[in-house]
Amino acid sequence: MRSIDANGAQIPCLGVGTWTLSGPACTELVAHALSLGYRHVDTAVLYRNEAEVGAGIAASGLPRDDLFVTTKVWHTDLQRDAFRRSTEASLARLGLDRVDLLLIHWPNPAVPLAETIEALNAAREAGLTRHIGVSNFPTGLLAEARALSPAPLVANQVEHHPMLDQSRVLAACRAAGMAMISYCPLFRGSLFEEPAIANAARAHGKTPGQIVLRWHVQQPGVAAIPRTSRKERLAENLAIFDFTLDAAEMDAISALQSANRRLCDFAFSPQWDIP
């Protein structure tokens, strides 16, 4: 599978999202994904499944260096000491010495960004993670974070799908040599009837979900981490590297982004970019 070279990190362009997965089903799903060829696994403290994700990784028997594992520190733990404790607890639950990518999961204006970025860099220097980055950072905050960070940020993980215009964030990531990692990449399936997607699916003999994932990974610098609780979907989601969407198909799907529908928006959200 193609990897994105993001400021020195090699990030497989398709990963396994695990938000909402739990228990033995989560472990089995992660292990199955790895047996199919996935090498990028995404979790977070917030998801409360790091132990199950770690068990799935262990069950795969794959060499650690073949995997790209991400976890995230939630916005309640962005002070220096809390950040370190959160990261160490994540590693203990995952059963790993380090992750490949550690992200600030969500910004928190009540904690100085300089303090959190220092803690993020300290985690990297202590060997708890190979690479660092952010999640849910709009462009202004991303610029601040980059300016504060001695080590390069390699990714910004954001909600991104054909129903939400993230072109400003994507342009900022590209200009900084960073990857943009799309969560909720399939808009929870609620866009499969859109003609631009359904027509491309018919033309290529693929499912609408495969068309949307192909749209993600065909954009330079974009990786996607679809979540599914169904094992058969893992194979389906992986079968997107044997066809190409042409420019007209890409544009027709991108045009849907003017709808600007965001799934993950909360009282504590930052001011999102307006396209």
The alpha carbon torsion through 23, 25, 29, 32 (nearest 10 deg) reads 120
Positions in the binding site for ligand 1BO (CB under 6 A): 19, 44, 46, 183, 264
Which residue out of 47, 106, 187, 215 is catalytically annotated? 47
Q: If you search the block for the tokens 């904690």, which residue do you land on?
A: 111
Of residues 159 and 194, the one with the C-beta less far from ligand 1BO: 159
Neighbouring CB atoms inside 10 A of 97's CB total: 9
The CB-of-103 to ligand 1BO minimum distance in angstroms stands at 9
Of residues 19 and 192, the one with the C-beta less far from ligand 1BO: 19
Query: Is 47 an active-site residue?
Result: yes
Of residues 44 and 197, the one with the C-beta less far from ligand 1BO: 44
Supply the DSSP symbol for 164: B
Of residues 74 and 192, the one with the C-beta less far from ligand 1BO: 74
The CB-of-266 to ligand 1BO minimum distance in angstroms stands at 7
The CB-of-221 to ligand 1BO minimum distance in angstroms stands at 19
| Residues near 233 by beta carbon (within 8 Å), at least 6 away in sequence | 209, 226
> What is the number of alpha carbons within 13 Å of residue 93 lying toward its C-beta?
20
CA distance 149 to 127: 16
The CB-of-83 to ligand 1BO minimum distance in angstroms stands at 17
The DSSP-derived string for 201-240 is: HHHHT--HHHHHHHHHHTSTTEEE--B-S-HHHHHHHH--
Q: Which residues are catalytic?
A: 47
